[in-house]
Amino acid sequence: MKNISITTLDNGIKVITEKLNHVQSFSLGFWFNVGSRDEDEKNNGISHFIEHMLFKGTKKRSAKKISEEIESLGGYLNAFTSKEHTCFYGRGLKENISKTFEVLADMVQYPLFDSEEIKKEASVVIDELYDIEDSPDELIFDKFESNIFNGNTLAFPIIGTEKNISSFSQNDLFTYLKKHYTINNFIIVASGNVNHKEVVFLAEKYLKKNFRNSKTSFRNLLLNNSTDLFVEKDTQQVHYIIGKPTYGYKDIKRISVAVLSHILGEGSSSRLFQKVREEHGISYQINTFLNSFYDISTFGVYLSTNDKTVKKAEELIFEEIKNICSKKVSIKELERAKEYLIGNMIMSLESTTNRMNRIANQILYYDKIIPIEQTIKKIKSVTKEEILELSNEIFNSKENVANSSLTRVILSSKNFLLDKAA
């Protein structure tokens, strides 16, 4: 693609830029191929904790100075940690990319990890953990993935545990940084009104630390059988998920699963929304989800309702699953789902941050940039026959759907699990 340039520096770090002349800003991301999936039981949460601590000061800058230098130019800095990646990024006007690059480079190379700041930030992150515990619609997804991926590091929550967060030391952070913040785990991506040669120059100028290479760690995927789980929580509503693992980013079938997901439960025209909310008035929130990693995804249905109607809601979910497994979807329904996916994807690319994220994920997952036209072509090629075959594969419809390999997690103040038979 003519507007995307890739350079590998002499030290091995990749720099990828996308030139967009029609905007006056940029999004710049420093990406590390490390997340909670690369942790163990004793240090679970350390990737996310380091993300916080890199904003707490360097040898040259205090925490206040880090934010002031960027905000005084009308930009901002932020970061996020996922199960597979950590990203530190900045946005700003095109003329301020040099300062943003310098500050980000300082943060990732020379953090202080001051012991007093570690203690203070531990309290902040524990408060963030409590916020998740107080948000049942967020907590239930953590519980679902911990259950589905039990015995695998994908089961670890990104934020970690209170015990671990409270125990991280300066040495723990530096040791983890040295192991994982390495050349072969590091890429720089910018999208917006940027000049590729300038970004390469900035990388050569400001990235002086010897990041060294590290052995490529193998992310093991061992799935154990999971069972239905009840989580007791003082809530007004019953929060419910039913789902299972399916194809990850590396498998072309994931695109077909995304189409299936939309038909079944994404958007107000989807089958489950129409059946459960519009026809029966049972649930305010009901939707399917597809949460993807390199080699696997979780796919399922989430809803919130009350304890008197949750059984009926589940019956309606199973009814729609049986319907989609027994009869081909209509051309109209299939095309609507495809156009929804394509439209959302194209509209998301009006954001330079989304574009930067897309490029980074493609480099990290595929080691190449996939043109959007190619993705659109794959979506458009999904057939009615594929959706029917995939539905039967995922939901094991030769058996009673309620007795298939789907796993349920229920979060409620009332301790119960639904009968297995719908």
Query: Cα–Cα distances in Å, from 75 out to 136, 173, 180, 259, 353?
Result: 33, 28, 28, 37, 13
Placement of tokens 């230098």 in the chain: 69
Q: Pinpoint the alpha helices (H) of 92-225.
A: 97-109, 115-133, 136-148, 162-167, 170-180, 196-206
Question: Closest Cα to residue 142, out of 411, 419, 405?
Answer: 411
Residue 272, C-beta contacts closer than 8 angstroms, at least 6 positions apart: 264, 265, 286, 287, 288, 301, 316, 317, 320
Cβ neighbours around 34 below 10 Å, total: 26
Q: Are strands 14-19 and 186-192 parallel, antiparallel or unpaired?
A: parallel
- Please state, in angstroms and rounded to a whole number, the distance separating the CA atoms of residues 92 and 97: 7
Residue 421 class from Cβ within 10 Å (0-12 exposed, 13-18 middle, 19+ buried)?
exposed
308 token code pair: 């008197």
Query: Cα–Cα distances in Å, from 396 out to 224, 263, 321, 383, 406?
Result: 18, 18, 10, 20, 9
| Known catalytic membership, residue 51 | yes
Helices 253-265, 331-348: crossing angle, 10 deg rounding: 110
- Asked whether 143 and 409 are in contact (CB, 8 A), the reply is yes
Question: Closest Cα to residue 146, out of 158, 156, 131, 161?
Answer: 156
List 18, 39, 41, 51, catalytic entry:
51
Question: Closest Cα to residue 240, out of 158, 290, 300, 293?
Answer: 300
Residue 328, C-beta contacts closer than 8 angstroms, at least 6 positions apart: 384, 385, 387, 388
- Asked whether 249 and 292 are in contact (CB, 8 A), the reply is yes
- What 3-state class would DSSP assign to 335? helix
Question: Closest Cα to residue 12, out of 250, 216, 173?
Answer: 216
Write the DSSP symbol of residue 135: -
Kind and range of the H or E run holding 342: helix 331-348
- Residues annotated as part of the active site: 51
